[in-house]
A and B are shown apart, each in its own frame.
Chain A
Amino acid sequence: MGKPETIIEKVWNKHVVHQEEGKPDLLYIDQHLIHEVTSPQAFEGLRLTNRKVRRPDLTYATMDHNVPTKNRHVVKDEISKKQMETLRQNCEDFGIKLADMFHPDQGIVHVIGPQLGLTQPGKTIVCGDSHTSTHGAFGALAFGIGTSEVEHVLATQTIWQEKPKTLNVKVEGNLGPGVTAKDLILAIIGKFGVRFGTGYVMEYTGEAIRKLSMEGRMTICNMSIEAGARAGLISPDQTTVDYLEGREYVPKGQEFEKAAAEWLNLATDEGATYDQTVIINADEIEPQVTWGTNPGMCVPVGGTTPILAEVDHKEDVKRALEYMGLEENQPITSIEIDHVFIGSCTNSRLSDLQKAASIIQGRKVKDNVKAIVVPGSFSVKLQAEELGLDKVFTEAGFEWRDSGCSMCLGMNDDIVPPGGRCASTSNRNFEGRQGNGARTHLVSPEMAAAAAIEGHFVDVRKMAGVLN
């Protein structure tokens, strides 16, 4: 036995193509995911230099950021339309498989990768999107890249990367009833801040993490970037293997058995060390709500907005409260909302919709609250419909949409108007993120559903019938 290693080191070392003193390593990329927004300039670059895509077979494209969620056949915005047509043309010219907006495999790129089994433990995965960290839930080393790097990966199937420092985010204890993966990751960012992961790859470890479903793990890894870490991952275990078995791009039969054994071997060795460790106790975590303009500005639902006299960075807090139209020391449960968005690469998978539906069942969305559900993929939508979830949502007053990124960033028509206030299951509460002047509060699907019913934030655990 050699020196105990973390999964981060194991995956890294398996992918080094070239190493030179004083330079970053050249890493091989196993899976490149692309979408319409951050790829056109990369293909343009290839054309200008007369280069081709080295491994179209390791590249997979979908349309998600711009797609309409109401009527697929009407893209009102001509520039959006052109961007999607450009992706179609590029995929055709360079021989890349594309799930366009009418394709049954279409969906948010970070939902379909795992769903199709393109995402697998031990793979290096990149995409021109910062939430690529999502795929780390499977024990893949997955991170977001810029468009120049997209072009680089298309041309060379490699990327130059400095070996990252490793950070163990250890979650001890157990999440209580009604407390979700979303609350956990918000609480982690709330406690340690929006830049504690900068320069690191994070590994989430501990009892509470092991007990999460794959979908919960994806929610956690998805928001690693909101803590500053380009990548966050979780060592594979039987939960990982069970999730992947039978998926389209996963090996079958004996090959699967072999792959599964290799995957389990990737898990961090007993006694491996990290450059840094932080510890949080899951038992103490309550449902979270963000009050400000970055994901670290969050408190338990029973709490209040900050008291200015008690905070560091007073100017930042004051600015955020002003933008959000909130007072200092204001109880979270007193904040009234007019929009609810259930969706995004953080929380749009089947279990997210099931949990939200369980709160909604038999209840009605509050008057004057506009609530939408945007499933993460076509496949999620169909599965939800088979379970009758669409009826639960629409009977309560939610709109049931087609899949896409939608109101998480409002590149299509799904935006919150200026001054509007949204309980959102997405990942970013930045100024203007969901629409110019829009105010975003990040919450779990259960908390978003509860806010839709009550018209303001409530502790979902206190709603009748929830904790039975």
Chain B
Amino acid sequence: MEAIQKHKGLVFPLDRSNIDTDQIIPKQFLKRIERTGFGQYLFFNWRFDDDGNQREDFALNQPQYKEASILIAGENFGCGSSREHAPWALTDFGFKVIIAPSFADIFYNNALKNGIIPIKMEEERLSKWMEDAQRSSLELSIDLKNQQITDEEGNVISFEIPEYHKEKLLNGWDDIALTLLQEDKILAYENSRI
């Protein structure tokens, strides 16, 4: 996993709640056996019509969001299926940070495993950013180490993230290697149950 300490980028506002992983990446794209190349299918049924043409009414298709790397969404982002193809599609498309009032449990974990920073933030705060990003464009700077977001006006907002998740993101640590440091304990546990 790639380490991530700071990120500055454009916001794509997606003002919907309960965005499920079927919307993030529909099932017809889950058949690949690789981890890469899923970005082209991100939000596929919202981005494209039945003939494969871009839908103009979906904002991500508009030029001002082309370079967006921060996604702001409504409550319960990533609910439904456990498919890790959802964060794979988001990172492959270029998203590094997702900010929402709440996340579904499985998605939250899956995002962390792929170097995406999932930030929980109250709706009131988000609604202003959502409006700004919808109206014109909005750039935010995320400082993971200090758990702060700075907006264009210089306002600094703190956010919460569990320390152990933060450490892993900052260092890009491989989870399995960390766990295998406890191998003697795993073995002892197995032996105790025979």
Q: A251 — which chain B residues lie within 8 A by C-beta?
A: none
A49-B176, A158-B186 known; A198 and B23 CB under 8 Å? no
Q: Least Cβ distance of B105 to chain A in Å?
A: 5
How far does the alpha carbon of A77 sit from the alpha carbon of B106 in the complex, in Å? 29
A195 and B182 contact, CB distance less than 8 A: no
How far does the alpha carbon of A122 sit from the alpha carbon of B110 in the complex, in Å? 26
How far does the alpha carbon of A228 sit from the alpha carbon of B16 in the complex, in Å? 17
A residues 407-459 near B (Cβ < 8 Å) are 409-411, 418, 428, 430-433, 436-437
A152 and B26 contact, CB distance less than 8 A: no
A17 and B28 contact, CB distance less than 8 A: no
Name the residue of chain B whose CB is nearest to the CB of A296. Answer: B18
Question: From DSSP, what is the main secondary structure of chain A's interface residues?
Answer: loop
Q: Is A22 engaged at the interface, CB distance under 8 Å to the other chain?
A: yes
Q: Least Cβ distance of A51 to chain B in Å?
A: 7
A79-B31, A149-B113 known; A26 and B182 CB under 8 Å? yes
Q: Is A156 engaged at the interface, CB distance under 8 Å to the other chain?
A: yes
B residues 153-194 near A (Cβ < 8 Å) are 162-164, 174-176, 179-180, 182-183, 185-186, 189-190
A146-B109, A195-B102, A411-B31 known; A436 and B26 CB under 8 Å? yes
Interface centre among A145, A156, A199, A226 (most CB of B within 10 A): A156
A194 and B79 contact, CB distance less than 8 A: yes
Contact mask for chain A residues 63-96; partner B; CB cutoff 8 A; 1 contact, 0 none: 0011000000000010110110010000000000
Interface centre among B15, B32, B35, B105 (most CB of A within 10 A): B105
Instruction: Tell which of B58-66, B81-89, B91-99 binds the partner.
Output: B81-89
A418 and B164 contact, CB distance less than 8 A: no
Q: A225 — which chain B residues lie within 8 A by C-beta?
A: 80, 106
Q: Is A287 engaged at the interface, CB distance under 8 Å to the other chain?
A: no
Give 6 closest A-B pairs by Cβ, nearest first: A40-B33, A146-B110, A146-B84, A148-B113, A144-B82, A79-B31
Give 10 CB contacts A-B under 8 Å: A129-B81, A145-B109, A146-B83, A198-B102, A225-B80, A225-B106, A228-B76, A229-B105, A411-B31, A436-B50
Q: A38-B84, A155-B176 are in contact. List 7 more A-B contacts (CB 8 A).
A: A17-B186, A79-B32, A198-B104, A198-B105, A411-B30, A433-B22, A436-B45
